[in-house]
Amino acid sequence: MADEAKNTTNEVQEPEEELVSIRLPVIKENNSDVFVRVNHRTWLIKRGETVKVPKCVVEVLHNAEQAQLEAFEYEAKAQKKIKSESAK
C-alpha cells in the first residue's frame, strides 16, 4: 500500500487536492531522496517506495525530467559540433 510522501511542512493537504501514487526509481548514480517544493509546501520523496503525492508534485517532477533531457540533448549536440569542427 502506498504511503504519503513525507511532507516536510506542518501543513495538512487541501481536501480537494487529488493524490496520485508514484514510485521514483532507485538509480546507481544518485540514490538520494528527492526534494520537491511547490509554492510554500515541500516534500521529501524516498526512492524505491510507492508514495501518494498531489498532482502538482508529479508535474514538477515531470518538468524537471523534461528539462534534464533537453540539457542532455543540447550537450550532445554541442559535443558533436565541437568534434566536427576540430576534425576540419
**E-state strands within 1-88:** 3-4, 6-7, 19-23, 34-38, 41-45, 50-54
Domain ranges of the chain: 3-86
Interatomic CA distance for residues 56 and 36, integer angstroms: 10
29-75 per-position pLDDT tens digit: 888 999 999 999 999 999 999 999 999 999 999 999 999 999 999 99
pTM value? 0.71
Distance of alpha carbon 33 from alpha carbon 42, whole angstroms:
13
Convert the pLDDT of each residue in 5-27 to its tens digit: 666 544 555 567 899 999 999 98
Tell me the pLDDT tens digit for each residue of 66-75.
999 999 999 9
